A and B are shown apart, each in its own frame.
Chain A
Amino acid sequence: MFLICGLGLGYCTADYSMQEGLATVSVRNGPWIVWPLAGSADADPYTRAHFAANGHLPLTAFEALTFRATTDDHGQPLDQSCEYFVEGRAFKARWWSLTAYQNDRNFIANKAQRYSFNSQNIVYTGQGEFQVALASNARPGNWLPLKNSGTFQLTLRLYNPDSDMRGSLQELLLPKIKKVGCT
């Protein structure tokens, strides 16, 4: 009993801290999580473990900021049987991209071979504002196709972000992830 509890507790807390991050090493902004010391030689053991365990080769925050979301704005897991709107405005970065991945970290297969939008191929709705629809059926405008089941995650990458963005990760105006409905 002692062994099972000790090993289980140790494994679960290590897994959680490597995936979700502790408040001292990762930054949460709504549903988005960013690891500010990604790729840095000065990174703490949790940041190193997070990227190694996930097989990522990160860039430092100077070169790119990477935000990941596995839930919507209300904390519900992103589900491919639902429809979402991701709404935001252009970022103070050289360029940016928004990508959807399925749970196994591969792209979500679709006939259009559309897995992401970037700052140059997205259609803006107003003064730098954009809306991306995520749904299994075609939608007008910026549409990222989903399948009909399984969870997924969104990754927002900002390349060469302005220095003031790097210093205020918690206050950044990041896209809202709004659930429209589920089938």
Chain B
Amino acid sequence: MRRLLYWGTATVLLATVVHLFAVIFVPGVDSGQKMAQLEAAGEINTLHRISMKGTDPTLLTEPSPDLAYAFCKYDIKSRPLLVQGAIPPTYWSVSVYSEIGDNVYTLNDRQAGVDKISLMLVDASETFEDEDRPENTIIVRVPTATGLILFRAFVPDRSQSELIERHLDASECKTYPVRSARR
């Protein structure tokens, strides 16, 4: 009986360790793989529109067929990133994801209230002088120097897809020529 209790307890303890290990380490490993997959799909700090033709596998898992997407994989270790979005006349949003997949910032078309928006991504661990900020630009401080920016735009019906894609194509991600001073 004592032997059975011993091995039963040991099994539960091992199962607990495996369970916690999987839950805690899966996000880092899987998010890293996702980011690597997106990085391989295009140049870093550059905007790429995602083709959504038929049932072709896309870079996104379970994408919405009612949205058009574009993304920039960012790396702001050496310079901030300037993100310029052309906002179509439908629902639109830009989301910033950290390296581990946290949605650290989202702005939609109604919150923006304009048809063109300018954001600057700055590493939260670095100082950024306000005089370096271009006019009418929102500063977004991100917790990790690498991650992903994802644009989403609602395509209510197929007749509007060309118009929406034109807006995404007119958007841009580019490094900004001001080096943040490290603390």
Contacts and interface: CB of A to CB of B under 8 A. Distances in A.
A63 B106 contact: yes
Contacts of B29: 52
Nearest to B110: A160
A45 B24 contact: yes
Interface in B130-175: 143, 148, 150, 154, 156-157
Most A Cβ at <10 Å: residue of B15, B28, B31, B108: B15
B106 A109 contact: no
B11 to A, nearest CB: 5
Interface in B12-64: 12-19, 21-24, 26-31, 34, 54-55, 57, 60-62, 64
Interface stretch (A1-9, A69-77, A168-176): A1-9
Interface in A1-27: 2-3, 5-11, 13-15, 17-18
Given A10-B17, A106-B55, A46 B64 contact: no
Contacts of B31: 52
Contacts, number: 156
Nearest to A108: B55
B178 interface: no
Contacts of B7: 2
Interface in A54-112: 54-60, 62-63, 94-95, 97, 99, 101, 105-109
Interface stretch (B77-85, B93-101, B114-122): B93-101
B102 interface: yes
A94 B26 contact: no
Contact of B108 (A39, A49, A63, A109): A63
B150 A10 contact: no
A113 to B, nearest CB: 6
Given A2-B7, A57-B101, A14 B61 contact: no
B11 A105 contact: no
B49 to A, nearest CB: 16
B112 interface: no
Interface string A127-157: 0000000000000000000000000000101
Contacts of B148: 57
A121 B62 contact: no
Contact of B34 (A7, A8, A46, A55): A55
Given A6-B15, A95-B91, A118-B156, A52 B64 contact: no
Contact of B30 (A2, A13, A43, A55): A55
Nearest to B156: A120
Contacts of B126: none
Interface of B: 7, 10-19, 21-24, 26-31, 34, 54-55, 57, 60-62, 64-66, 91, 93, 95, 97-98, 100-104, 106, 108, 110, 143, 148, 150, 154, 156-157
